């Protein structure tokens, strides 16, 4: 008998399932806390929780993770510099911290518009090579001619040896700035994803698990592990994608919506006739518009581990995640006495980091570069036991900005009150230290002039409303979440009625089932194994690859050329039939090559091709022909 194993490393829990290949039944599952900054301990704990007799017969392992998504949402990615070549217009209010625009770029037919200013690029590289972990590169119409991106990449390699990511390597869609953003985020995530994958590989080797390793992408498809390491941006929504695929698998619903409550975020998505709904314009995460083809989803930075903090006598939830007080107190019982002695800071100083129930602890990671004097002073006062914000400085409170910097560098971790703590107080969930949650809730409720139970019920109600608001915002595409909130919170209670099932996934999500049913009229399903739905989804995803190839009819004087643009390459043909034949052959080869990398044989792959021609009236030849190749396959599992 042979088995397959799915692993999902989420922001809060690392889940694992084993599925019997002969009938697809889940025969074992487990959950363990995700550990930071070293994920290995959490992965080991999850695998230790499985029946070890099955592991020796596991031949396929597929993984998913929310780590990339959470990194972007929390703005804790590694430092990156972005180089853009062309006549860029940067949107107001952008969040790119380090970039330069230089002369260069190409036109829509791949012709050079301006000579690349390599001298300015060289100066920028020298200025930043010791400040960043990687570079991102984008040039105008690099999807038609990537020469300038490749020239900059080669220069970075010669001068620094640091990794660099080109926009054309990640997307073939128009939109040079958003391709640049995609490359920028991808570069931030490379060290994080590389460490995650190497941790999985090392643990498999240690346990002598000889299995093929795959990773779930954000479109619900699987990819070979080497490509996953090169393009971590494609895993930004692999956790939610796993939830979507897993929810359909567990509920046996071919069409359903899914609400996945994780530690850092709540994600809503939909699967229709067994295929995830995709977002053609590219995934949006943390306010960033990318060019990554992903499942269409609504996501909010409110999850089970979102920090609850008080300002102006009102509770705020998120967007940062923290270690729940109930979880931390299980390991550090002395926190309870510290909570009882906590002092409430001045109202004027209250912020996310300045809270009477906020604690900090070293992560175990040592600084890799010199800290500023203020950072070092704070870091030296934080040890291996949680310290409260008032204990860090007895005479004054530290600047929240320096605390943020230490958190971003993963040198310290934050502990605070969360929705998970609120559930412990209400008696809906009792996995961890309930006394610590109650003590913290007492402190915070005084700041809001409520009883402890009223305060926690308000938190739970807000989390429930957040689920429903983002579900309806997903289904009602042109209606903003705040407009939906007005309906839900109106003077007269109004329920939305849904004909499509709503599947709930997540650790303590069972505590919210009845509350969700009170807000919407729908078939709300809590399937068996819902707590490990992500891990199941990581394993049952199909292999899907989408390749777009464009043929452009270019006329110069009396000469006609047919240029094929594919994967950053341009090939010129004299006739359209020649170009079409080449494009069809190339598209199929690219799909099958990708599937082979993902461990799929050609006979297990179905390729669908669609063609769209743009023609002028009276013209026999199309001005443009776009071919879209979609390969669909299922990882082979031997019985």
Average pLDDT along the chain, 639 residues, taken 10 residues at a time: 87 87 88 81 92 90 80 79 92 85 92 94 95 94 92 95 90 86 89 85 91 83 77 77 86 89 84 79 74 80 90 89 93 91 81 89 84 86 87 64 83 93 94 94 93 95 92 87 85 84 88 92 90 83 79 80 86 92 94 78 84 78 88 64
Residue whose C-alpha is closest to residue 265's, from 225, 316, 305: 305
Pairing type for strands 359-362 and 387-388 reads: antiparallel
- Cβ partners under 8 Å of residue 513, min gap 6: 504, 524, 526
pLDDT at 639: 47
Give the DSSP letter string of 98-111: SEEEES--B-TTS-
Q: How far is CA 302 from the centre of its chain?
A: 14
Distance CA 88, CA 350 (A): 40
Burial of 477 (0-12, 13-18, 19+ CB in 10 A): exposed
In three-state secondary structure terms, 139 is strand
Angle between helices 452-475 and 481-488 (to 10 degrees): 130
- Asked whether the bond before 288 is cis by omega within 30 degrees of 0, the reply is no
| Token pair in block for residue 427 | 């008696």
| Token pair in block for residue 4 | 């397959």
Residue whose C-alpha is closest to residue 604's, from 635, 638, 639, 637: 635
Residue 250, CA distances (Å) to 80, 238, 418, 548 in order:
40, 18, 28, 33
Residue whose C-alpha is closest to residue 423's, from 381, 397, 456, 401: 456
Q: In 209-296, where does DSSP find H-type helix?
A: 225-230, 238-251
pLDDT at 458: 94
pLDDT at 397: 58
User: How many helices (H) and strands (E) are present in the chain, helices listed first?
Assistant: 20, 33
Q: Using an 8 Å Cβ cutoff, are 179 and 168 in contact?
A: yes
> What backbone phi and psi angles, to 5 degrees, belong to 619?
-100, 130
Give the DSSP letter string of 572-625: EESSHHHHHHHHHHHHHHHHHHHHHHTT--GGGEEEEEEEEEE--TT-SS-SEE
Most distant CA atoms of the chain, gap in Å: 86
Q: Using an 8 Å Cβ cutoff, are 294 and 278 in contact?
A: yes
Pairing type for strands 502-505 and 256-261 reads: parallel
Distance CA 532, CA 534 (A): 5
Domains of the chain: 74-191 (3.40.50), 306-455 (no CATH), 543-633 (no CATH)
Q: Using an 8 Å Cβ cutoff, are 358 and 413 in contact?
A: no
230 C-beta neighbours (distance < 10 Å), count = 17
| Token pair in block for residue 145 | 């001619």
């Amino acid at each position: 008998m042979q088995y397959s194993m799915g692993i999902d490393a989420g922001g809060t829990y690392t889940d694992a399932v084993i599925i019997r290949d002969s009938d697809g039944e889940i025969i074992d599952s487990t959950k363990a806390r995700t550990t930071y900054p070293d994920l290995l301990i959490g992965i080991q704990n999850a695998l230790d929780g499985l029946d070890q007799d099955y592991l020796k017969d596991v031949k396929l392992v597929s993984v998913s993770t929310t780590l990339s998504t959470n990194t972007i949402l929390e703005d804790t990615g590694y430092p990156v510099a972005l180089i853009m070549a062309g006549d860029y217009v940067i949107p107001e209010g952008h969040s790119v911290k380090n970039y330069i625009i230089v002369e260069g770029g190409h036109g829509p037919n791949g012709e050079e518009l301006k000579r690349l200013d390599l001298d300015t690029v060289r100066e920028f590289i020298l200025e930043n090579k010791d400040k960043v972990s990687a570079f991102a590169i984008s040039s105008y119409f690099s999807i038609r001619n990537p020469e300038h991106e490749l020239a900059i990449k080669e220069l970075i390699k010669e001068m620094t040896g640091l990794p660099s990511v080109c926009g054309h390597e990640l997307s073939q869609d128009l939109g040079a700035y958003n391709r640049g953003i995609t490359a920028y985020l991808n570069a931030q995530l490379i060290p994080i994803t590389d460490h995650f994958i190497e941790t999985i590989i090392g643990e498999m080797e240690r346990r002598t698990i000889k299995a093929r390793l795959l990773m779930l992408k954000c479109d619900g498809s699987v990819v070979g592990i080497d490509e996953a390491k090169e393009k971590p941006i494609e895993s930004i929504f692999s956790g939610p994608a796993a939830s979507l695929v897993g929810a359909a698998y567990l509920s046996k619903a071919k069409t359903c919506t899914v609400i996945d409550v994780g530690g850092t975020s709540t994600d809503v998505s939909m699967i229709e006739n067994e295929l995830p709904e995709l977002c053609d314009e590219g995934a949006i995460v943390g306010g960033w518009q990318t060019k990554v083809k992903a499942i269409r989803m609504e996501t909010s930075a409110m999850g089970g581990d979102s920090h609850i903090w008080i300002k102006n006598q009102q509770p705020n939830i998120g967007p940062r995640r923290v270690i729940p007080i109930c979880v931390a107190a299980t390991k550090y019982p002395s926190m309870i006495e510290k909570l009882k002695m906590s002092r409430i800071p001045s109202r004027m100083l209250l912020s996310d980091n300045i809270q009477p129930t906020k604690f900090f602890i070293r992560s175990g990671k040592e600084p890799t570069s010199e800290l500023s004097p203020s950072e070092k002073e704070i870091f030296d006062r934080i040890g291996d036991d949680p310290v409260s914000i008032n204990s860090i400085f007895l005479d004054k409170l530290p600047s929240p900005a320096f605390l943020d910097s230490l958190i971003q560098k993963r040198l310290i971790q934050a502990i605070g009150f969360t929705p998970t703590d609120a559930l412990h107080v209400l008696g809906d969930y009792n996995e961890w230290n309930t006394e610590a949650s109650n003590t913290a809730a007492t402190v915070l409720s005084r700041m809001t002039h409520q009883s402890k139970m009223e305060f926690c019920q308000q938190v739970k109600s807000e989390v429930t409303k957040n689920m429903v608001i983002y579900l309806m915002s997903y289904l009602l595409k042109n209606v903003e979440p705040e407009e939906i909130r007005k309906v839900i919170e109106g003077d007269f209670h109004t329920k939305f009625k849904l004909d499509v099932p709503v599947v709930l996934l997540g650790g303590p999500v069972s505590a919210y089932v009845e509350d969700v049913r009170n807000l919407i009229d729908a078939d709300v399903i809590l399937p068996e194994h819902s707590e490990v739905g992500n891990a199941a989804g990581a394993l049952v995803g199909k292999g899907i690859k989408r390749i777009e190839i464009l043929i452009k009819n270019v006329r110069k004087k009396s000469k006609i050329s047919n240029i094929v643009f594919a994967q950053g390459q341009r090939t010129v043909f004299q006739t359209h039939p020649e170009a079409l034949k080449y494009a069809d052959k190339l598209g199929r080869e690219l799909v099958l090559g990708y599937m082979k990398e993902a461990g799929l044989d050609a006979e297990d792959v179905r390729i669908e091709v669609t063609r769209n021609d743009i023609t002028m009236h009276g013209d026999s030849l199309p001005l443009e022909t776009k071919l879209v190749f979609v390969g669909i396959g299922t990882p082979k599992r031997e019985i």
